[in-house]
A and B are shown apart, each in its own frame.
Chain A
Amino acid sequence: MTNVSFREELDRLEAIVRSLERDDLDLDRALELFQEGVTRLRAARELLEQSELTVRRVLEAADGTIRSEPVDR
C-alpha cells in the first residue's frame, strides 16, 4: 500500500483545482500547484488501476492481544 491514501490524493487534488480556479493566484504558484496536481493525478490513477486487494485475518490471542496475518487469495 502506498503511504498516501486515495482519499488524501483526492482531497488534495480538489483543493488544488479549486485554488487554480481562483483568479487571485500568483502565476508561479499556479504552475507549482499544477505540477503537484499532475503528480497526484498520476498517483490517484495508479491507485485505482494497479491496486490489489489485501486480505488479513485478525486473531485475538488469549491475553487479548490482536495480531493479523496475510491471507492468500
Chain B
Amino acid sequence: MTPAGRPGAGGGRVAPTDGAWSVSDVTRRARALVEAGFNRLWVRGEVSGFKAFQSGHWYFTLRDAQAQVRCVMWRSDNQRATSPEEGTQVYVEASPTVWEERGEFRLTVRQLLPTDASGLWQLRLERARAALERDGLLDPARKRPVPPWPERVAVITSADGAAVHDIVSVLARRWPLAEVLLIPTRVQGEGAELDVLAALGVANRLPVDVAIVGRGGGSREDLWVFNSERVARAVAALSVPVISAVGHETDVTLTDLVADLRAATPSAAAAAATPDRAAVLPLVGGLARRLAHGLERRTELGRERLARTGDRLEATIREHTHRRSARLAELAAALDALSPLRVLERGYAVARDDDGRVLKRIAEFPPGRHFRLTVSDGDVGARAEGRPA
C-alpha cells in the first residue's frame, strides 16, 4: 500500500524517506479523519466489560450482534449518570475518535441513558422538564389548593376507558352534589396530543371548580402524551386547580409535575377532588347543634333580661303608686283645709238670711235685721244693731 500523501495534520513534518508512514502518523491521521467525519451522535448498544477506574473514568464496550466499540466516559461527564448494568441496552451521546496509543477506534461518551426502549424519549423528557423548570412551572408555590365544595368537576380523559368509569363511580359515592363535565379526548396514539390540548382549551371555557386530567394505567409509551411539553404547559395554564391522574405508580409524567395535585390513579383523583358526604353529615350535625344552642342561649339571655325588666317595672309601679297616694293624701288634706267647717273652727262665722243666703256686705245688715249666724258647732239667731261704725 502506497501512502497517498503527507500524513498527519501537523505542519513541517517530513515524510519518512522510505515512503512508509509511522504508526503515530497513521493513527493521528485516522483520528483526524474520524473526528472530522462524525458529529456528536447517539449510539445504542449493549454494555459489556464495564469498569470504573480509581480516576473516576469509566471504560466499557458497546456491542450489538455484529460489532462492538470501545467507550470511555470521563469523570467530568459521568458524575451525574448512573453506572450501567452489565448487559443492558443503553443510549450514549458520543463523539467517535481514535485512541492513538492503542490504535483503537472508540467513543468518547458525554451522556449515557438507559434505553428500556425509551432512552431518547427520556432525553426529550429531561429537556422538556428543564424548560418547564426554567419557566417556574414546577415551583411548588404555584400549586393551588383544591376547592373544598366543588360544584362542577371537569374530567378530561378518554370517553371509554376505565378511568372515566372509576372517576364517576367515586364521585357518585362521595359527592353526588357535583356535576361532572366530561370532556372526552384520545389519550394515546396518533393525534392524542392535539386532542388533549383541545380538551384542555374547552375545560378553560367551562365554569368548573376543579379539573381532573388523566387516564388509567398503561405502558410508558401509552402515557406519553402526558409527557408532552405542550400538554404540560396547557395543564399549567388551566384557570382552575388541576388534579393529574396518569395511572402509573412508578412514572411521574410532566403533567403530574405541573398539576396542582398528583393522584396515583383516576379513582384517587376523584377522591382528592371532592369531600366525602359521609364525613360532611356530622359537620352539618355540628352546625345544627350550634344553631340550637345559640338560640337557647339567646332565649336564656332574653328571659334574664325580661326578668330584669319585670323587676324594674314593678318597682316603677310601686314607686308610682306610692307617689300617687302621697299626692292623694296631700290633695285630701287640701280639700279638708278648704272645708268651711274648718274655717269656722278657726273662729270665723257665716251669716245667712232666713233663706240661707250668705250675707257678705254692710248693706245687707240694716238696723234691726234678723239673721242667722253659723259658728263651728251650730246656728244662732242674731239682729243687726245699727249703722256701721
Residue positions of A touching B, CB distance < 8 A: 1, 5-7, 10, 13-14, 16-17, 19-21, 23, 25, 27, 30-31, 34, 37-38, 41, 44-45, 47-49, 51-60, 66, 68, 71, 73
Contact = CB atoms under 8 A, between A and B. Distances in A.
Interface in B164-195: 168, 171-172, 175-184
B151 interface: yes
A57 B149 contact: no
Nearest to A36: B291
B205 interface: yes
Contacts of A25: 298
Contacts of B288: 41
Given A34-B295, A44-B284, A56 B179 contact: yes
Interface string B293-322: 011011101100000000000000000000
B198 A60 contact: yes
B162 to A, nearest CB: 15
A73 B170 CA distance: 13
A16 B301 CA distance: 18
Smallest CB-CB A-B distances: 9 pairs: A20-B294, A7-B149, A30-B298, A53-B176, A53-B172, A27-B302, A34-B295, A51-B176, A55-B180
Given A38-B291, A66-B205, A53 B168 contact: yes
Interface residues of B, number: 38
Given A30-B298, A56-B181, 17 more contacts: A1-B179, A5-B177, A10-B284, A20-B291, A20-B298, A21-B297, A27-B299, A30-B299, A41-B288, A47-B177, A48-B281, A49-B277, A51-B176, A52-B176, A53-B179, A57-B184, A73-B172
A54 B180 CA distance: 6
A34 B179 contact: no
B182 A71 contact: yes
A34 B182 CA distance: 40
B295 A31 contact: yes
Contacts of B168: 53, 55, 73
5 contacts: A13-B284, A21-B297, A51-B177, A54-B179, A58-B206
A73 B159 CA distance: 13
Given A44-B284, A47-B177, A71-B182, A53 B171 contact: yes
Given A5-B149, A51-B176, A60-B202, A17 B290 contact: yes
Given A66-B206, A71-B182, A41 B149 contact: no
B287 interface: yes
Nearest to B306: A27
B202 A66 contact: yes
B41 interface: no
B280 interface: yes
Nearest to A52: B176
Nearest to B281: A48
A5 B207 CA distance: 14
Contacts of B151: 5-7
Nearest to A1: B179
A1 B152 CA distance: 11
A51 B183 CA distance: 22
Contacts of A59: 184
Contacts of B295: 20, 30-31, 34
Contact of B284 (A30, A45, A52, A66): A45
A57 B284 contact: no
Contact of B182 (A7, A14, A45, A57): A57
Contacts of A66: 202, 205-206
